[in-house]
Structure 1
Amino acid sequence: MENILELHTRRRSLDARLIREEIEKRLPSFEQIRQTTKQPGLSFGVVFEGKPICEHHFGVKDLSSPDPPTSDTLYSIASLTKGFITTSIGILVAEGKTSWDSTVCSILPDFAPLAESPGLPMATLRDILSHRTGAAGLDPLVQGLHSQMTLDKENAMSLVNALPVRGTFRASYAYNNALYGIAGKVIEKLADVDSWSDFVRERILQPLGMRDTTGADVDIESNNVATPYTVISDGSLFQETPPALSGTSANGASGGLKSTIGDLSKWCVAITDTFKYGDEQDASQERWIPNNPIRGLLIATSAHNIVDPAFPADEHYCLGWFRQTTPARLGLISPNRSLRSPVLGKESLPVTIYSHQGDVPGYTCSLYVVPEVTFAIFALSNGTGLSDCTDWICQDVIQGLFQLKPAVDFLQEAKLAADSYKTWFNRTLYQPFLKARDEGYQPTSAEDFVGQYILEGCNFKVHIILDETALVMVVNERPNQRHPLQPFRPNQWSFMPKNLDEYLQRGYGLFDLVDEFVLNFHRTGDGHVKELTWRMSSVITRFVRSE
C-alpha cells in the first residue's frame, strides 16, 4: 500500500486542471462504456471547489436526429428528486414550521396506516425519509407498467394507509417511494402550496438559477428534451412513453423532477458549498453561493438506516442520500447493482462518499459527492440500457481521482453486466416460472375468476375480465394497465412474459420476482372464489372480491 502521507498529499493537491486532464484521458473509454450499454445519449458534469469545471456529452438526445445532448438537454432525474424533497423539509424545519421528529399524522391527520406494526402509525418525517418504516412501497402495483401510475395523487393516502409491512419499524431498510409521495404532501400542507414542486421551484431552483429544472409534465417533442428509450436484447431501441411522475402525480415527490447538466452543476455547487460552510448564513463569510437556500444538510446526510447489515463497511441511507465509506460497493440502487457490483478501495485510504442513483423507464442517472475535497460528479442518460453507463462512469472517475486500489476495469464490468443482463430474464424469472408451472392444468371455468377485487383497507381495484375467451387483469380501471392471464396452477393465474424483449416492451421493469407475476385465487368451502392474493415487494397483498 502506498505511503499514507503521500496519498493524503495527492488528495490535497487535486486541482481543476488535473481533474479535467484525468477525465479527458478517459473519454474514449467512457464512450466505449456507453456503446456497450447501448444507451443512446449521455451527459455528465463535474463540480470542484465551488465551480463547474467540465462537462461532456455523448450520443444523441433523439434517434431521429444526429444532434448530441447539450448542457441544457432535459432528462428525468428520477430518484435524485429525493434530495430536493429532504432539502425542502430542511427549509421548513429551519423556519420552525416542523421538526425532523414531527409525526406525519400530526401534520396529515389522514395518515393512519392499518398494518399491524408497532410504531408505524406514529412514524416521523425522519422515518419516512430514511426508508426505515418497514412498510412495503408496492412499486409494481402503484407505478405500474411503464411507470404510468395506477392511481391519482388525491387517492395516494388511502393506498399508503393500506401498505403491508415487510420489515421491522426502525430496524430495517425498505425503500419506499410511496412514502416520499407523502413527504410531498407534508410540504404542500406546511407551505400552503398546490404542489411540492411549486415549493421546490420557488425556494430552491429559482434562488440557485436552475431555470430548466421542473416538476411539470414535459412534452418530449419540445426542443432539447431527451427522448426516453429502452434497449432490447439485440441492442436495438424502442421509444418509451415518458414516465407519469410529476408534481401532480402519486409518487411524484419520489422521482418527478426533470433537469439538465447545467442545472445540476448549480445544485452540486450549492451542496458542496453547504458541506464546506454549513447551513448558517453569515454576511461576513465569503462562500461560493451567498444566500445559499439549502438547509438541514447536516441532518439529511447523517446515517439513519443501515442498508446492508451483512456488508461490514459504512453503508447507510440518510435522508435522500446514501452514505458510504470505501471499501464499498457503490451504486446502491443503480440498475447495475443486480448485475455487477465491484468493491472499490479495498487497498486504499477510506473515502466517504454521498450519492444517489435513479432510473425510470427510458432514463438513468447518478450523482456522487465527496465533501472531503468539495467534489461532485453527476451523469444523465436517456436510455434503460444493457446496464447503466451513468453509474459506471461516475465510479470510474472517483476511482481514478482518489487512487482507489486495486483498480477496477469498468469497461470490462460493463461488458460482463451486459452479458448478464441478456440472460437475466431467462435465468431469474422464466426458467423458475416454467419449473413451478403445472403445464397440464386447465381450469374448468375461467368465468369463476371474473369479478372486481378490492385491496383491503383501500378502494384500489383489480378487475378480472373475460376478453373474448381469455382472462385479463385490469389494474384500478386503467386501460393502459392490462395484463393478459394464463393458467399457472390450480386457482393460480400468471401474466409472465415469454422473453426479455416482451418483458421490456410491455413495461414490466419494476417486476423482478416470479411471485409478482402470479395471482392466487382463494375459494370458500362451497367453491366460490372469494379473494385473490398477489405477492409484491416480498409481501402478500390481499384483494377481497366485491359482489
Structure 2
Amino acid sequence: MDKEKDAALQRLTSCLVQVQQIHSTCQTPSITFGVVHHGRAIMKHSIGHRDSGLTLSANEDTIYMLGSCTKMFTSAAVGILVDEGKLSWSDRIQQHLPEFDPLGDPKIGQEADIIDCFRHTTGLASPTMLTVGPRGTIASDPEDLIPILNAMPTRNANCEQRFNREWLYNNAAVGLMALIVERLSGQRFAEFVRERILEPLGMTGTTMTRADTENDDNIAAPCTKLSNGQFYHLPHSSWPCDDHSPLLAGMGMRSSLNDMLTWCIAVMDAERSEIEPGYVRIIPNNPLKQMTRVRRGYWTRPADDPDFSKPAAYGMGWFRIDLPSSQLSSFSANALSQGREHQYHLQNILGNENAPSPLTAVGHTGGMRGSVFSVYTFPETQSAVVTATNGRDFGDASDFTAQILIQALFDLKPVVDLLPWAKKEAELAAGFYREHIEAPWERNRWPNDPERDRLIYVGDYRGFNDRFTLTIAVANSPSTAPSLSVVFNHRSASECPLIFYQTDVYSFLQPDEDYARTQAIIAKDYKQMLLRFKVDEAGKVTGLWWQWDIEAEAAWLKRVPT
C-alpha cells in the first residue's frame, strides 16, 4: 500500500507544472487542491493568492465558496432525519410543506417528492434572477420562496409538462429541503448542519453564517478580471446567507480544502459501512447516514458520445459516472468548449485504455460569482480529488485541475494533455460577452426611436404571486434630463441604471464588459435584461413584460397603484 501511495504521490507531484499552466491560462487569482487516497489525505497544495490585490497567499485553510457543492450537506442533513424515522425519501413535499402547490401543473403539488427536488425533476423553472440579483444581492425573502416556486412555469417550449419527464436544474427546489429540515428538527437549517454534521466531524473551517467568518480573514475573495488586467473583488457580503435558509441549502456554504478532504473521507467511510458487513469505520462516531441512498443515481444524463461513454446519473447533490467518459466534466463551468461547435470534451476523454476496468466517480461542481469548487470521490479506492478557485472569467481552472489530478492519481492512459482544451476555453470565454451579449444587444437596439417622458414609468411593478417587485426610480444623474434605474425587490444594493433601448423598452445591461463583470448580473441572454413597458391609449403605464428566464415566456408585472 505504501509503495502504491508513494507512486501516486510522485505522479501527482510531477503534474504540478501542468496545474501552474492552467492557473496562468485561466487567469485566476488562486487554485487550491488536494487528494485523498485509500482513506488518507496524501496531497495538499495551493497556487496563487486569495485576494484581488495578489498579496495574500492561498493555502489549505483558505475558505472558498462551495456553491452547489452545498447540496451534499443538505442531502446529508435529510439523510440523518430519514435514518431517525422522521421522514422518508418518498415523502411528498406537500406532506411537510402543504403550501407548496405549483399553479402550472397540479401533479407537481400532488406527487413531487424529496428525491424529485434533489434530482431536479420537479419540472419547475428556476427563479434564479428572482432570488439572486445584481452584485450577488439576495433578492427575495425565505417566506417568499414557495409562493414564487408556485408561480414558476412548468411547461417546455413545446407546451409539454416537464414534471418527471425532463431534467431542469433548480437551486430553489432543493432549497425546500431546508424548510423541511427546519420544520421537523425545530432548528434553523444552519444550526442543524453545524450541530449534527460539522461539529462531529471537526469541520471548523466550514461556514454556515456570516458570524463564522467575523474573526477569520483567510477567505478567498471571489474575483473577476478587468480590461486593465487587474482583479476586482466581487462583493459577497450576502454570503453565507444564513438569514435565507433555502438559498443556504442550495448554494450558500463555504469551506476550506482541509475540511472538504475530511468531508470526502467521512462520506466514503459512511457509505462503505452501509455496504460491507463487518467494515470498521475510519471515523468511529461518523454522523453521516443513508449515504448509499444519497449517492445513488436517480436520473440518467445521456452522454454526447453514446457509442463510447456510459451515461451519467444524477443523485441527491451528487452525480455518478463510470470512467472513461466524456461526462466527467459535464457539470463544470467549461461549457463553451463543450458545445456542439467545439466538443473538446469528446476529444479529451481520460483513460481510454483503462476502459475494461471502469472507475466509478461520484462528485459535483459548485459555481458562484467569481469562484468554482469541485469535488470528486472514487469509492472503490476510497479516493477523492478536491479543487477550488476564486476566478472563472477565462475557464474553469478548478475543473481542469481536477482532471489533471484524476489522470495522475489513477495513472490513466493514454496521457491526455489538457492544456490545449484550457486554452480554447479561455479563448472562447474572452470573446463571449462581446459576441453573445453585447453585439446582439447593439444590433437590436433602436436608440433613435421616439422616447416618452421618462417619469411616466416611475413606480412599482409586481408579479410572481405578488412576491416580487421591480421598482423604477429616478436615478441620481448629472444630466438635466431625469435618468431611470431599476431596483430588485426593494433591495437598494441591487439598483442598476436603465438605458433607453427602444420605444417603451429600457435595458439594465450596460454596453461595457467591465460593468457587466463587476455587477455580475446572472443572465444568459441580453433579452433577460430588457424591461418592456405597456402604455395604454391614455398614455398611462399599466405594467411591464420581463423575459427573466430565456427558456420561459416573458412574465407580466402589473403596475402597483400609487
TM-score where L is the length of structure 1? 0.91
What amino acid maps onto 1:247 in structure 2? D
Question: Is the CA contact (8 Å cut-off) linking 1:231 and 1:386 kept in structure 2?
Answer: no
Tell me the equivalent position of 1:303: 297
TM-aligned CA distance change 1:285 to 1:437, over 3 Å: same
Aligned with 1:74 (options 60, 63, 84): 63
What per-residue deviation string (whole Å, max 9, x for no partner) do you get for residues 431-459 of structure 1? 12222222422323323322211113132
- 2:546 partner SS: strand
Tell me the equivalent position of 1:161: 150
Tell me the equivalent position of 1:347: 352
Superposition pairs of residues 173-184 of structure 1, within 5 angstroms = 173-184=167-178
What amino acid maps onto 1:443 in structure 2? E
Tell me the equivalent position of 1:516: 528
What per-residue deviation string (whole Å, max 9, x for no partner) do you get for residues 369-392 of structure 1? 122222110012222342121110
Aligned with 1:422 (options 409, 425, 430): 430
Matched, 1:377 2:385: yes
Tell me the equivalent position of 1:324: 321
What amino acid maps onto 1:435 in structure 2? R
Q: CA deviation at 1:501?
A: 1.6
Aligned with 2:558 (options 539, 544, 547): 544
Find the aligned partners of 1:403 and 1:37 in 2 and give their Cα distance: 25
Q: CA deviation at 1:13?
A: 11
Aligned with 1:315 (options 293, 312, 316): 312
Question: Is the CA contact (8 Å cut-off) linking 1:462 and 1:476 kept in structure 2?
Answer: yes
TM-aligned CA distance change 1:45 to 1:488, over 3 Å: same
TM-score where L is the length of structure 2? 0.88
- 2:547 partner SS: strand
What per-residue deviation string (whole Å, max 9, x for no partner) do you get for residues 282-331 of structure 1? 7x642222232221222222222234576633122211012223322323
Find the aligned partners of 1:306 and 1:448 in 2 and give their Cα distance: 51
Q: CA deviation at 1:484?
A: 1.8
Tell me the equivalent position of 1:471: 484
Find the aligned partners of 1:454 and 1:370 in 2 and give their Cα distance: 48
TM-aligned CA distance change 1:66 to 1:431, over 3 Å: closer
Higher mean C-alpha displacement, 158-167 vs 421-430: 158-167
Aligned with 1:507 (options 520, 524, 527): 520
Q: CA deviation at 1:175?
A: 0.9
- 1:366 partner SS: strand
Matched, 1:491 2:504: yes
Superposition pairs of residues 164-243 of structure 1, within 5 angstroms = 164-167=153-156, 168-193=162-187, 195-217=188-210, 219=213, 222-242=216-236
Find the aligned partners of 2:395 and 2:325 in 1 and give their Cα distance: 22
Find the aligned partners of 1:420 and 1:310 in 2 and give their Cα distance: 20
Find the aligned partners of 2:545 and 2:335 in 1 and give their Cα distance: 29
- 2:217 partner SS: coil
Find the aligned partners of 1:316 and 1:433 in 2 and give their Cα distance: 37
What amino acid maps onto 2:512 in structure 1? N
What per-residue deviation string (whole Å, max 9, x for no partner) do you get for residues 457-496 of structure 1? 1321111123361221111111111222223233322222
TM-aligned CA distance change 1:322 to 1:223, over 3 Å: same
What amino acid maps onto 1:448 in structure 2? I
Higher mean C-alpha displacement, 402-411 vs 531-540: 402-411
Tell me the equivalent position of 2:13: 24
Find the aligned partners of 1:104 and 1:119 in 2 and give their Cα distance: 9
Find the aligned partners of 1:398 and 1:373 in 2 and give their Cα distance: 12
Higher mean C-alpha displacement, 129-138 vs 400-409: 400-409
Question: Is the CA contact (8 Å cut-off) linking 1:43 and 1:69 kept in structure 2?
Answer: yes
Tell me the equivalent position of 2:341: none
Share of identical aligned residues, percent? Answer: 28
Q: CA deviation at 1:347?
A: 3.1
What amino acid maps onto 1:252 in structure 2? L
TM-aligned CA distance change 1:232 to 1:351, over 3 Å: farther
Task: Count the aligned residue pairs.
Answer: 532
What amino acid maps onto 1:200 in structure 2? V
Higher mean C-alpha displacement, 91-100 vs 381-390: 381-390
Tell me the equivalent position of 1:432: 440
Q: CA deviation at 1:338?
A: 2.8
Superposition pairs of residues 360-371 of structure 1, within 5 angstroms = 360-371=368-379
Tell me the equivalent position of 1:277: 273
CA RMSD of aligned residues (A): 2.4
Structure 1 unaligned segments of length 5 or more: list them.
Answer: 1-11
Find the aligned partners of 2:185 and 2:94 in 1 and give their Cα distance: 16
Find the aligned partners of 1:342 and 1:216 in 2 and give their Cα distance: 37
Find the aligned partners of 2:215 and 2:508 in 1 and give their Cα distance: 33
Tell me the equivalent position of 1:4: none
Find the aligned partners of 2:176 and 2:62 in 1 and give their Cα distance: 30
